[in-house]
Amino acid sequence: MNTLTAPLPSSGHGLDPRRMAGALGHEALGEWRNLVRMPAFSIPTLLFPVGFYAMFAIVLPFADTTQAAATLLVNFTIFGVFAPGLFAFGVGLANDRDEGWLRLKQTAPLPIPVMMIARMLVAMVFALAVVVALFAVAATAGGVRLERSAWLILAITGVLAVIPASAIGMALGAWMKARAAIAIVNIAYLGSAMLSGLWFPLHLMPDPVQSIAPALPPFHLAELGRHATGLEAGSLAVSLSWLACVTIIAAALAMPGLRRQERK
């Protein structure tokens, strides 16, 4: 009997979908409590994007046309929703490893993918909270007027942006020590946001920056946001496929890092 035809292990914990769902629920709830109770994560995640958006769109006179107002909202939505996934995995995973949690979880009767999905779902909830907060400010004080469908698609884009952000976070967190992770994830986050034109219009940036932007995931997430809101944007297919590639590559890079832990 070769391995291809071997029966699946029946003692596995991950095969009964109902039990899986239950485990996922518990794990997600645990993650949620974990993150909410970590003010270093939850407060900046929620307040930074809203604060920056308010500064650029309301305090400073940058949202002077309907287009500019929509552009600012798209940019800061992407800026905001990119953080939860990136940090929950980038910093969170590194922490887990350093503190031995990951080993504990690896021995617990819960498949690692379930844990990852639970963490991602929680990050999505955070992303949704960021979206709700930003939309509330944009609608009341930011002068943003969008078609109802555009609001919805932008919100969905924001929530789904957690997937590539999580994959990138995973790749970083799987390989780094917790202390280094905080610094490096922050640099990656703020740097890529800046270089992707989320803070300042790309055309005001030096030419080298303009040519880097199309390689960065936040740029393409912002492109999706621009598509959603009818702003000028490049090819939708290019952005989607680039994001898919980045997600797959990042997840693939993360795997050996996680396994390395297992072998320790």
Binding residues for other proteins, per CB under 8 A?
64-67, 128, 132, 135-136, 139, 144-148, 151-152, 155, 203, 232, 234-235
Nearer to other proteins, 96 or 223 (CB): 223
- Nearest by Cα to 220 from 241, 190, 194: 241
Please say whether the beta carbons of 158 and 133 come within 8 A: no
Nearer to other proteins, 64 or 264 (CB): 64
Comparison of 151 and 189: residue with beta carbon closer to other proteins: 151
> How far is residue 135 from each of residues 80, 215, 261, measured CA to CA in Å?
12, 28, 41
Q: Shortest approach of other proteins to residue 27 CB, angstroms?
A: 16
2, 96 in Cβ contact below 8 A? no
Minimum gap (Å) between residue 237 Cβ and other proteins = 12
Round to whole Å and give the CA distance between 254 and 250.
Answer: 6
In Å, what is the CA distance from 203 to each residue of 104, 198, 199? 49, 12, 12
Beta carbon nearer to other proteins, 92 or 143: 143
**Type of residue numbered 1:** M
Instruction: Using the minimum distance from each CB to other proteins, give the nearer residue, 31 or 96.
Output: 31
Q: Give min distance, CB of 9 to other proteins, in A.
A: 32
Closest distance of CB 91 from other proteins, Å: 27
At closest approach, how far in Å is the CB of 140 from other proteins?
A: 9
Give the count of beta carbons closer than 10 Å to the beta carbon of residue 166. Answer: 30
Do 216 and 196 meet the contact criterion of CB atoms below 8 Å apart?
A: yes
Number of H helices, E strands in the chain: 11, 0
